[in-house]
Amino acid sequence: MGIHRLVLWNIDLTLLDVGRVTRAAYADAFRTVIGRPLVALPQTAGRTESEIFFDALALNEPAAFATGPAGEELLAAFTAELATAFHSRRELLTEEGWLLPGARDAVAEVAALPGVVQTVLTGAIKPNAIEKLRAFGLEQYFDTEVGGYGSEVFPKGALLLTARGRAARKYGVDFTERATAYIADSVRDVAAARMGGAHSVAVASGRSSAGELRDEGADVVLADLTDTARVVQAIDCLTSPAAAG
C-alpha cells in the first residue's frame, strides 16, 4: 500500500526545548521593529508567532498596535527580523537547548511506519522551525514543504487544514481526518487537531498536564516520548487503513 496517512508533529516542548534561544531572538526582533524593549511576553503554548506578536504588542506597546495593512506590514517586518535573530544564534541551539527524552527514536520509528508522511505543524516561523530540526538532526524525517508554520497568519486549527491540503496536492492522496494525526503538548494543540481534522496524541511534556490534555479530548495522552513502542502503536492504531476506512 502506498502513502495513505499523515502525521504532523509540534516542535517546541514536544520534540525539543530551545526556549532560551527563542526568547532572546524574539526580544531582539521586537526591539528592532518596535523600537522598545520586550518587557512582557504573552502566553506562547500552542500559539503561532503571528498571534504571539500581536499580543506582545498589546502588552508592551499598545500605541504601536495596528490592524489591517499596517498590522500586516509590522508582522512582516517582525517575522524577517525574527528569522535573522534566530539564525545568528543557531550555534547556541544545541548548547542552550536539548532534545526531549525519546524524541529522536519516536520520530524515526513513526517515519518507518508503512504509508506515513511526516511533517510539522508548529507556531514557529518556517525558517526557524527548520533551523531547530536541522540542529538536532531531525530534518531528514520530515517533509517540511507541506507543513504548517507560524509564518502564516492563521491559528493552528486552520494551519492543520492548510497542511492537509498541501500534502494532498503533493502526494495525490486525500488525507482524511481518520488518516491524520497531530502529536503535540498543549490543550490548544488538542483543540487545533479537533478543528483541523486530525486525531490528537498529546504529550505531557509542555505546560499542560496529562489531566488537562485528557479533559480537552485528546485521543491518546502520553507522559513523554520515552516509550517508543507506545508512540508508534498510538499512531499506527489511529491512522491504520482499518481506522481510516
- pLDDT given for residue 61 in this prediction: 64
Query: Are residue 60 and residue 126 in the same domain, yes or no?
Result: no
Query: Are residue 34 and residue 114 in the same domain, yes or no?
Result: no
Domain stop point among 42, 65, 92: 92
Please give the Cα distance from 153 to 77 (Å, whole number).
14
- Asked if 1 and 23 count as a contact pair (C-beta separation under 8 A), the reply is no
Please give the Cα distance from 147 to 150 (Å, whole number).
10
pTM of the model: 0.91
State the total domains in the chain: 2
Query: Are residue 225 and residue 201 in the same domain, yes or no?
Result: yes
225: containing domain: 5-17+99-244
Query: Are residue 9 and residue 37 in the same domain, yes or no?
Result: no
Q: Which of 33-47, 78-92, 114-128, 196-210 has the lowest mean pLDDT?
A: 33-47
Query: Are residue 106 and residue 197 in the same domain, yes or no?
Result: yes
- pLDDT given for residue 75 in this prediction: 84
C-alpha cell at 199: 486525531
Query: Are residue 70 and residue 115 in the same domain, yes or no?
Result: no
Amino acid at 165: G
Mean pLDDT for 111-132 is 97
pLDDT tens sequence across 141-179 = 999 999 999 888 788 999 999 999 999 999 999 999 999
Please give the Cα distance from 18 to 12 (Å, whole number).
7
pLDDT tens sequence across 47-104 = 777 777 777 777 776 555 555 545 778 888 989 999 999 999 999 999 999 999 999 9
- How large is the angle between the packed helices 228-239 and 103-111, nearest 10 degrees? 40
Query: Are residue 121 and residue 223 in the same domain, yes or no?
Result: yes
Please give the Cα distance from 188 to 71 (Å, whole number).
24
CA–CA distances in Å: residue 230 to residues 55, 82, 127, 179, 227: 37, 36, 31, 18, 5
